[in-house]
Chain A
Amino acid sequence: MAIDKATVLRIAKLARIEVSDEATDGLADELNAILAWVEQLSEVDTEGVEPMSSVVAVTLPQRADVAGVAVPREDLLADAPNAEDGFFVVPKVIE
């Protein structure tokens, strides 16, 4: 269960959040404290208990197959930090 520095970096990578080297230790401590606290759940016998699949006891509503109006392109791209020629523009993945 213990989260070490390497795990912090791995999780940060999965979550795409840059964590500075200095911050990893502090973060590891905080996360470990929280995990230690939630560990008490293992005291409870949940054999045969179904996980709560939905809070509301209804079935998945479905909608008719009717195409609506898409968001006009100018509106869609209006808030984009970088957009050109009708596309969202992002940096490439550099190997």
Chain B
Amino acid sequence: MSVLTDLTITAARAGLEAREFSARDLTDAHIAAAEAARELNTLVFETFDLARTQADAADKRLAAGEGGLLEGVPLAIKDLYCTRGVHSTACSHILDGFEPPYESTVTENLWREGAVMLGKANMDEFAMGSANVTSYYGNVINPWRRHSDDKPLVPGGSSGGSAAAVAAHMTLAATGTDTGGSIRQPAAFCGIVGLKPTYGRCSRWGLIAFASSLDQAGPLTRSVEDAALMLRAMAGYDAKDSTSVNVPVPDYAAALSGDVKGLRVGVPAEYRLDGMPEEIETLWSQGVDWFKAAGADIVDISLPHTKYSLPAYYIVAPAECSSNLARYDGVRYGLREADSDLTHMYERTRAKGFGAEVQRRIMIGTYVLSAGYYDAYYLKAQKLRSLIARDFQTAFEKVDVVLTPTAPSAAFAVGEKMDDPIAMYLNDIFTVPASMAGLPGISVPAGLSHDGLPLGVQLLGQPFDEARMLNAAQFLETAAAFTAQPKWLTERAG
């Protein structure tokens, strides 16, 4: 494997500026890596020709001294983002053939900063899932394998393709979306960094909507500094999104010092679950110790409504998605199952076009909003949300960041947890509360499980305080010194 694919964005940018290699070299190396990694099924649509064109244009700009923040950096873009003229289907059969005549604001920002698109990354259909096993285009295979067996493992989800692509070194970074943990959890499963910004930090315009009050765009990278760079490019106010917040975007990377002296780190009691794998609890404690040793203040906090976050999420998110996905009806774009009757056309199109998990969530969402149930379910869940947010607000009076595990297990095998939807939902138990409160969160790879799989640790920050959160994350990254590589890479090296 070429050394160009082992770089971070920071190193790649430095190399490009120093003319050690060209943007074209960098892109070609990643295209080759992507071709070699096809068995992982991380890309559902390759845009290699476009990438080469973009790389050439980047070289011209670099030569003229006009390089943007991400000039020449190859990226994989989650298939949930609408990319002009390029396959954008949310990995669903119902959007077969859809090529939007518009570009999402976030990807527009990335192209403006000179980034290069390698392709559209695989994902759980409509971002609903935590293992990337519901995609119309098939499962994604995690480049990591257990020591104890050779079973293919899931990369986590829904941004499974994005995470696996980054972990497999076939792209420098990727974009994902996080609604209940869909960036952070796959990042943990794949041993990389995954960042969910504050709700409203990045624009949702052009992001195929799953749950409007929860969806957020964010980066998956191999270093915290890379995540800071990506966030700076992706974030920003967008008047076309009524939920976009108009606060300036700081230079996140410049704020990284790795110094956490005096930082107040909250450790929430309620995240210690019965039956939690010991190695995860150990890693979490390890994180606490690292912080303590560096002069941070460890504060025990309580977030009393934590355990209700997940069930509340599984009312709110399906409710919103049941409405957001009503537009997929075979009338104006996408799949249509022809029929002589309108109602049958709708019913058959949607039955054929949506996978089982999506159908299940639409049904739950429809039910909880239906007459007679709105108060007991949706309204109740929204009230819980206020309480969850209030828990965090109270905690943040005493702490600056909150430290938790990212996921309740390491990556599991493809085929496991498939018969019980709830078992699958529990993957998000540590990530969902921050989503419900709209807070930023980041997962940093911090150690290995007994079976050689990556385990992540999560930091949660205050609204629009990504800078401080990223700084704490970089500290963790340094302390953890996570250098393990997935089997897929090590098998091919040398």
Q: Closest residue of chain B to A82, judged by CB?
A: B336
Which residue on chain A has the smallest CB distance to residue B439?
A55
User: How many chain B residues touch the partner (CB < 8 A)?
Assistant: 68
Of A53, A71, A80, A94, which is within 8 A of B340 by CB?
A94
Q: Indicate which residue in A3, A8, A55, A80 contacts B199 across the interface (CB closer than 8 Å).
A: A55
Residues of B with C-beta under 8 A to A18: 344, 347-348, 350-351
- Check A30 against B421 for contact (C-beta < 8 Å): yes
Given contacts A14-B370, A17-B359, contact A33 B381 (CB under 8 A): no
Residues of A32-83 contacting chain B, CB below 8 A: 33-35, 37-38, 40-44, 46, 49-56, 58, 60-61, 63, 71, 75-76, 78-82
> Given A11-B366, A27-B360, A60-B242 in contact, is the A51-B383 Cβ separation under 8 Å?
yes
Provide the B353-389 mask, 1 if CB < 8 A to any CB of A, else 0.
0100001101110110010000011011111111101
Nearest chain B CB to A16 CB, angstrom units: 4
Contact B342–A51 (Cβ < 8 Å)? no
Smallest CB–CB gap between B161 and chain A, Å? 24
Residues of A within 8 A of B422 (CB): 33-34, 37
Is A41 in contact with B333, judged by CB distance below 8 angstroms?
Answer: no
- Contacting pair B342 A92 (CB below 8 A): yes
Contact between A71 and B101, CB atoms less than 8 A apart:
yes
Measured between beta carbons, the chain A residues less than 8 angstroms from B380 are 41-42, 46
Among B307, B314, B438, the residue within 8 A (CB) of A56 is: B438
- Does the CB pair A55–B347 fall under 8 Å? no
**Given A92-B341, A93-B341, A61 contacting B242 (CB threshold 8 A):** yes
Measured in the bound complex, the distance between the Cα atoms of B97 and A14 in whole Å is 27
Q: What is the minimal beta-carbon distance from A69 to any residue of chain B, in angstroms?
A: 13
A43's closest neighbor in chain B, by CB?
A: B308
Instruction: Assess whether B239 is in contact with A63, with CB atoms less than 8 Å apart.
Output: yes
- Chain B: minimal CB distance from A62 (Å): 9
> What size tier do the contact residues of chain A reach?
35 or more
Say whether A16 contacts B329, CB under 8 Å. Answer: yes
Question: Which residues of the other chain, B, contact A75 by a CB distance below 8 angstroms?
Answer: 101
User: Which residues of chain B are within 8 angstroms of A38 by Cβ–Cβ distance?
Assistant: 311-312, 314-315, 377, 381
The reply to whether B359 and A44 form a contact with Cβ atoms under 8 Å apart is no
Closest chain B residue to A34 by CB distance?
Answer: B364
A44 to B384, CA, bound (A): 8
A81 contacts which chain B residues (CB < 8 A)?
330-331, 333-336, 338
In the complex, residue of chain A having the shortest beta-carbon distance to the beta carbon of B101: A75
Q: Which residue of A lies closest to B212 (CB)?
A: A55
Q: Evaluate contact between A34 and B332: CB separation under 8 angstroms.
A: no
A79 with B383: CB separation less than 8 A? no
Closest-CB distance, A54 to chain B (whole angstroms): 7
What residue of chain A has the Cβ atom nearest to residue B307's Cβ?
Answer: A40
Nearest Cβ distance between residue A64 and chain B, in whole angstroms? 10
- The reply to whether A51 and B336 contact each other, CB–CB distance below 8 Å, is no
Which residues of the partner chain A approach B366 to less than 8 Å between Cβ atoms?
A: 11, 14-15
In the complex, residue of chain B having the shortest beta-carbon distance to the beta carbon of A27:
B363
A42 in contact with B376 given A17-B362, A75-B101 (CB within 8 Å): yes
CB contacts (< 8 Å) of A43 on chain B: these are: 308
15 A-B contact pairs sorted by A residue (CB < 8 Å) = A18-B351, A27-B363, A31-B363, A41-B311, A43-B308, A46-B383, A46-B384, A51-B382, A58-B245, A79-B332, A81-B330, A81-B333, A81-B338, A88-B332, A94-B343
